[in-house]
């Protein structure tokens, strides 16, 4: 993994400054290429071919193409073998393989590569600057237009200072206060956009052309559940062998869940060596230990079972106070998920011995693990009841058996309404955070509907909602956290469950195989049945437990003083335009008194206040 930046003009000084703002992404090497029409910058985290032969920007053998690349191409050795007779290679990098594939196939080569990436290529013959992002969206890429030029970077902090007007995108801010993150093409900054997953921009002579990936993945037809159980182990092993490719040791973020434990089992088999594993626990009282540290307890047990080199860090209130400003800085835009802090601290510890880390993100989406997926299935089944019976039945069901929110879900008017009923911050009074001066629900609803409806399938409600999650919450919240928290310490975070082959497989698995309705507390049945020989018995018999943080408790204790200071309108000048501080203080008071639960609402304001102070006030 690396950091990239550039502009469609000759301007080495500007791009060198852009790279200096993101050099934490690539501490091993830096370089800039510049000629009339383009400047490309790169900071390198050496993973494949650690020698100077992997220096970037890198030119193709003919000199036509120049690339800056961030990511990992898992099938590059196979591709290299296929084209080697026609091309002369001088390094052992995946970067050079991409260049020679462009020489051979042009943009069509994107249908051949498999991996996680964001890169820019300059075509000196056509005078075109090409920006590409992987189909899943594991690696970020941002861009903006400035005086008829396109500028881009792996992180927005390289771009925002160049914008003539540093304006907050109000629609994106409303999205943040509603969801806890900004999703879709828009970002928190007016004028800066994210390149959507699977998209390519070709910029030439002041004009852009956009292409969406049409890559097809071939998966054998699964006639029945036994076919699926037989195929899943083969594909998972194939994926893991590809994802373990590296010239440096590969470690694992280990939790107490099935996904990361399955990865550890497969990694141990493939490597034949002890795997470095990392987990976190919280400094809490003995009576709270099982509630907040059950994940860490099972991770310890798993590390002994698989004989891994296990490291556990302990997170305290003070470590949160010490790190929160750095975390907000590295995230680029506000994110209200308090798990950012453990992610950041764990990556810092892992960076001492590892440059590459695997983690279990995506396993629940691919194989149907979250508890809400059972609700998706029940709603889908309910909608098959004749509409006249549904209309008659819902009003007579007592609220004690089915509350109004779930009644609305059963009678949803649009898939976007249904999706947002699960995705929204559901805390009482969370809709009071934003100032009335900026709230525009109709504009935000249209933006979200236009973005999400591209991911719905006409044939399946269950698959539609999960696909929307994959392309919104997973990409813009989970994967951005994984990338930016790991890259803040120079670590490449790979996510095997989001391999394009497993995503395609998921489309061929019936919802009843993933989450049978008879299962009340655990999904992923097809994965468990297929891979149970690789999963410890002490995990097989557990129901799924969500990761539980003590942030809510700590806000009533040692984080209370910090919270009071930050959610005050005097903390930073200017945010009273966006935040209703009177309501925020009421939410916090009710949280402290135990009359309400407002941790996400409070944390979203804390994060925004720090972000505003770091990026605008300063």
Residue 334: count other Cβ atoms within 10 Å of its Cβ. Answer: 24
pLDDT at position 546 is 65
CB 228 within 8 A of CB 323: no
pLDDT at position 617 is 83
Instruction: Give the whole-angstrom CA distance, residue 460 versus residue 290.
Output: 39
For the cut 70, the answer to whether the pLDDT of residue 91 exceeds it is: yes
pLDDT at position 560 is 97
CB 54 within 8 A of CB 48: yes
The pTM (predicted TM-score) of the whole model is 0.96
Highest mean pLDDT among 32-36, 86-90, 337-341: 32-36
Q: Residue 41: how many CA atoms within 13 Å on its side-chain side?
A: 28
425-434: average pLDDT: 91
CB 69 within 8 A of CB 98: yes
Digit-coded pLDDT (tens) for 226-241: 999 999 999 999 999 9
What's the distance, Cα to Cα, between the start and end of the chain in Å? 29
545 pLDDT tier (thresholds 50, 70, 90): low
Backbone conformation region of residue 144, classed left if phi is above 0, alpha if psi is from -120 to 50, else beta: beta
Digit-coded pLDDT (tens) for 255-282: 999 999 999 999 999 998 899 999 999 9
50-69: average pLDDT: 93
pLDDT at position 544 is 65
Average pLDDT over the chain, rounded to an integer = 94
Q: Which two tokens stand for residue 421?
A: 């009923």
Q: Residue 67: how many CA atoms within 13 Å on its side-chain side?
A: 27
pLDDT at position 355 is 94
Sheet holding 356-358, edge to edge: 309-315, 276-282, 250-253, 356-358, 492-494
pLDDT at position 85 is 74
Q: What is the largest CA-CA distance in the chain?
A: 74
* The pairing of beta strand 65-73 with beta strand 58-59: antiparallel
For the cut 80, the answer to whether the pLDDT of residue 596 exceeds it is: yes
CB 336 within 8 A of CB 603: yes
342-350: average pLDDT: 97
Backbone dihedral angles phi then psi of residue 179, each to the nearest 5 degrees: -105, -25
For the cut 70, the answer to whether the pLDDT of residue 32 exceeds it is: yes
Determine the 3-state secondary structure of 281 from DSSP.
strand
Digit-coded pLDDT (tens) for 441-485: 999 999 999 999 999 998 899 999 999 999 999 999 999 999 999
Q: Which two tokens stand for residue 507?
A: 């489309």
61-86: average pLDDT: 93
Determine the 3-state secondary structure of 590 from DSSP.
helix
Determine the 3-state secondary structure of 117 from DSSP.
strand
If one compares 426 and 261, the residue with the highest pLDDT of the two is: 261
pLDDT at position 459 is 87
pLDDT at position 1 is 67
Digit-coded pLDDT (tens) for 107-131: 999 999 999 999 999 999 999 999 9
CB 342 within 8 A of CB 359: no
**CATH numbers and ranges of domains, the chain:** 2-212 (3.60.20.10), 225-367+478-540 (3.40.50.620), 372-431+441-471 (no CATH), 551-617 (no CATH)
Q: Residues of the chain with pLDDT > 90: what percent?
A: 87
487-503: average pLDDT: 97
Digit-coded pLDDT (tens) for 363-383: 999 999 999 999 999 999 999
Digit-coded pLDDT (tens) for 386-397: 989 998 999 899
E-only strand ranges, 216-324: 250-253, 276-282, 309-315
* The pairing of beta strand 356-358 with beta strand 65-73: unpaired
pLDDT at position 401 is 86
CB 350 within 8 A of CB 251: yes
For the cut 80, the answer to whether the pLDDT of residue 582 exceeds it is: yes
Digit-coded pLDDT (tens) for 278-316: 999 999 999 999 999 999 999 999 999 999 999 999 999
Q: Cα 400 to chain center, whole Å? A: 37
If one compares 618 and 260, the residue with the highest pLDDT of the two is: 260
pLDDT at position 433 is 95
Q: How far is CA 553 from CA 549, 609, 610, in A?
A: 9, 21, 21
Instruction: Give the whole-angstrom CA distance, residue 194 versus residue 156.
Output: 9
Q: Residues of the chain with pLDDT > 70: what percent?
A: 99
């Amino acid at each position: 993994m690396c950091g990239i930046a550039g502009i469609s003009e000759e301007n080495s000084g500007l791009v060198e400054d852009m790279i200096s703002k993101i050099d934490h992404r690539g501490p091993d090497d830096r370089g800039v290429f510049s000629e009339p029409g383009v400047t490309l910058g790169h900071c390198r985290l050496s993973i494949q071919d650690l020698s100077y032969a992997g220096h970037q920007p890198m030119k193709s053998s003919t000199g036509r193409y120049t690339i800056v690349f961030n990511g990992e191409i898992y099938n590059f050795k196979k591709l290299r073998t296929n084209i080697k007779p026609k091309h002369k290679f001088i390094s052992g990098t995946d970067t050079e393989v991409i260049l020679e594939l462009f020489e051979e196939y042009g943009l069509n080569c994107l249908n051949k590569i498999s991996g996680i990436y964001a890169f820019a290529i300059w075509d000196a013959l056509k005078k075109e600057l090409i920006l590409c992002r992987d189909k899943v969206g594991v690696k970020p890429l941002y861009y903006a237009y400035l005086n008829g030029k396109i500028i881009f970077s792996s992180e927005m902090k390289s771009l925002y200072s160049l914008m003539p007007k540093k304006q907050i995108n109000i629609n994106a801010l409303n999205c943040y206060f509603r969801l806890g993150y900004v999703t879709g093409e828009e970002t928190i900054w007016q004028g800066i956009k994210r390149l959507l997953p699977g998209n390519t921009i070709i910029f030439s002579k002041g004009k852009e052309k956009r292409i969406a990936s049409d890559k097809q993945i071939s998966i054998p037809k699964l006639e029945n559940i036994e076919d699926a159980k037989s195929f899943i182990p083969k594909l998972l092993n194939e994926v893991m062998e590809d994802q373990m490719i590296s010239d440096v040791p590969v470690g694992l973020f280990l939790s107490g869940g099935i996904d990361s434990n399955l990865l550890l089992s497969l990694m141990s088999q493939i490597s034949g060596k002890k795997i470095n594993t990392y987990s976190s626990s919280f400094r809490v009282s003995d009576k709270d230990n099982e509630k907040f540290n059950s994940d860490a307890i099972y991770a310890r047990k798993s590390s002994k079972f698989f004989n891994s080199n296990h490291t556990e860090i302990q997170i305290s209130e003070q470590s949160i106070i010490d790190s929160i400003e750095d975390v907000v800085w590295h995230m680029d835009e506000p994110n209200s998920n308090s798990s950012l802090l453990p992610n950041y601290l764990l990556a810092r510890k892992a960076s001492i011995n590892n440059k590459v880390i695997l983690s279990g993100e995506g396993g629940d989406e691919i194989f149907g693990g979250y508890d809400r997926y059972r609700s998706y299935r029940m709603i889908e089944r309910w909608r098959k009841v004749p509409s006249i019976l549904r209309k008659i039945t819902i009003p007579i069901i007592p609220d004690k058996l089915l509350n109004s929110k779930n009644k609305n879900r059963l009678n949803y008017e649009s898939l976007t309404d249904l999706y947002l009923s699960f995705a929204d911050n559901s805390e009482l009074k969370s809709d009071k955070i934003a100032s009335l001066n900026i709230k525009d629900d109709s504009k935000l609803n249209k933006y979200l509907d236009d973005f999400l409806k591209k991911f719905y399938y006409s044939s399946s409600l269950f698959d539609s909602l999960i696909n929307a999650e994959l392309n919104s919450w997973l990409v813009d919240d989970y994967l951005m956290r994984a990338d930016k928290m790991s890259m803040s310490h120079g670590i490449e975070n790979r996510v095997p469950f989001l391999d394009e082959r497993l995503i395609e497989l998921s489309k061929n698995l019936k919802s009843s195989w993933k989450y049978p309705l008879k299962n009340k507390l655990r999904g992923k049945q097809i994965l468990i049945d297929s891979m149970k020989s690789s999963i410890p018995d002490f995990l097989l018999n557990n129901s799924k437990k969500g990761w539980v943080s003590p942030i809510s408790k700590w806000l009533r204790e040692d984080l209370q003083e910090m919270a009071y200071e930050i959610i005050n309108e005097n903390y930073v000048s200017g945010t009273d335009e966006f935040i209703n501080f009177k309501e925020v203080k009421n939410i916090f008071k009710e949280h402290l008194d135990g009359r309400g639960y407002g941790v996400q609402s409070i944390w979203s304001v804390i994060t925004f206040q720090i972000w505003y102070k770091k990026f605008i006030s300063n």
